[in-house]
Amino acid sequence: MFSGDDWLTFEQRHVWHPYASMQNPPPMLAVARADGVRLYLEDDTALIDGMSSWWCAIHGYNVPELNAAVIEQTQKMAHVMFGGLTHRPAAELAAALLEIVPKGLKYVFFADSGSVSVETAIKMALQYWQAQGKRKKTRFLTIRHGYHGDTFGAMGVCDPVSGMHQLFSAMLPQHIFADAPPNGTDADWDDAQISDFSDKISRHHAQLAAVILEPVVQGAGGMRMYAPEFLRRVRKLCDAFDVLLIVDEIATGFGRTGKLFACEHAGISPDIMCVGKALTGGYMTLAAVLSNAKICAGIHQNDSILMHGPTFMANPLACAVAVASLRLLLDSPWQQRVDAIKKQLKFELEPCRDLPQVADVRVIGAIGVIEMKNPVDMARIQPLFVEKEVWIRPFGKLIYIMPPYIISPDDLSHLTRAMCEVAAI
């Protein structure tokens, strides 16, 4: 259809990219293939990927086990509707998930993407209270700096001030936002960190369907890392005030923080949990919403049904590759790998703390962050990273990486060296 680079010219004129302008499109790098931890551009430039393709390619690229799963399932069926039909890959994936998620989660609803899983979780909470006859419980409590997706329900529980959706704030449901805890660990805990949240849940609990938050690590809202004790207190307050707890593990699930799921750092189990991103190892779009028995029984009270059903729900191809990805993860020394990445990130990024333009350096699991004092100049520093043969995509004040777990120490050093050199400019 296209000759030479004509496809790229056409693409730049007609294809929208995320958070980008079509009138003044930013420069794009054309990827020809990917293998291991490297992206290979059309001009044969090789870039070490520090982003895991927005945090989902935990095994890297061109993974033989995942390739084989896709081929095998394609030869059977790529898709079949989930209404009135079922299939083995969905059952196998549900069983694999229920073996590893926090105790108490017993039911699985498959969704198309992370944002859709949040929409589903919100619906679950609302339908639960409607079935209980408590129709005033329609609002949600969350913490500032949160990000839960780009669809309307999800946008409503994203930070309306510092988040990406201020343009729509007047059109979104008005939920309740509490102060987020500061960056820190349990060693830094102070009861003052929970005071605003405690005050808001006590004052508004009669209206609250659920609390929704990202456990321990807030991702796209600032790569913030807070004390697990905050999450323990939230769980207790939700129980005390009869409010459901939804945790958004879309970015943190499947080992990224050093635990399979970030809420394990606090030793709590939510009422509803959303997972996505790394679920298929970056091969297919798929997410899941898990609930405990209380939620399921409550929704189905008086023969009610959960009112949600995406067309590509439980897509067999996606489910099959997700089963293979989970098997590959659990059969690998993922904990040792993530721990080694964490130790190397801490050692190699810590010197950046002394730079006058750097506000903070923080690490948890396979996540390394340099926070600058001022917003980064994307147009200036993105090409610098490419010159250093790495793919790092900063945002706001943050230069960060979340590399594939299979990355070698040498390749990780290449990434951290590039981060420190660019931060020092």
Query: Across the strands, what pairs with 360?
Result: 371
CA distance 290 to 43: 44
- Structurally, the chain folds into a number of domains equal to 2
Cα–Cα distance, 318 to 311 (Å, whole number)? 13
pLDDT of residue 149 exceeding 90 = yes
Q: Which residue has the tokens 């039909």?
A: 85
Kindly name the residue from 137, 200, 259, 277 that is annotated as catalytic. 277
Interval 80-129: pLDDT, tens: 999 999 999 999 999 999 999 999 999 999 999 999 999 999 999 999 99
Among the listed residues 61, 107, 128, 147, the single catalytic one is 147
Give 346's pLDDT tier (boundaries 50, 70, 90): very high
The more confidently predicted of residues 51 and 170 is 51
In the prediction, which pLDDT does 1 show? 86
Q: Are residues 40 and 80 in the same domain?
A: no
Domain boundary pick from 291, 308, 331? 331
pTM: 0.97
Could you confirm whether 277 is annotated as catalytic? yes
Residue 37 sits in a domain of what CATH number?
3.90.1150.10
Contact 402, 391 (CB under 8 A): no
| Co-location of 325 and 183 in the same domain | yes
Please indicate, yes or no, if residue 324 is contained in any of the structural domains. Answer: yes
Distance CA 276, CA 378 (A): 27
Q: Are residues 140 and 285 in the same domain?
A: yes
Q: Which residue has the tokens 């209980």?
A: 132
Among the listed residues 112, 150, 159, 248, the single catalytic one is 248
Q: Looking at the domain assignment, is residue 304 inside a domain?
A: yes
Annotation says 61 is catalytic: no
CA distance 344 to 416: 9
Pair (324, 351) in one structural domain: no
The last residue of a domain, from among 331, 364, 387: 331
What residues contact 285, with CB distance under 8 A and at least 6 apart? 112, 113, 312, 318
Average pLDDT over residues 351-375: 98
The answer to the question of residue 268 being in a domain is yes
Last residue of a domain, one of 331, 358, 385: 331
- Distance of alpha carbon 84 from its chain centroid, rounded? 31
Mean pLDDT of the chain: 97
What's the domain range around 237? 68-331
Residues 6+ apart with CB under 8 A from 191: none
- Together in a domain, 245 and 323: yes
Q: Is 40 a catalytic residue?
A: no
Q: With cut-offs at 50, 70 and 90, classify the pLDDT of residue 139.
A: very high
Output the six-digit token pair for 76. 């059977």
Residue with token string 């990406």: 164
What is the CATH number for 229? 3.40.640.10
Helix, strand or coil for residue 28?
coil
Same domain (yes/no): 224, 179? yes
Q: Among 19, 43, 303, 410, which one carries the catalytic annotation? A: 19
Is 90 exceeded by the pLDDT of residue 403?
yes
pLDDT per residue over 263-315, tens digit each?
999 999 999 999 999 999 999 999 999 999 999 999 999 889 999 999 999 99
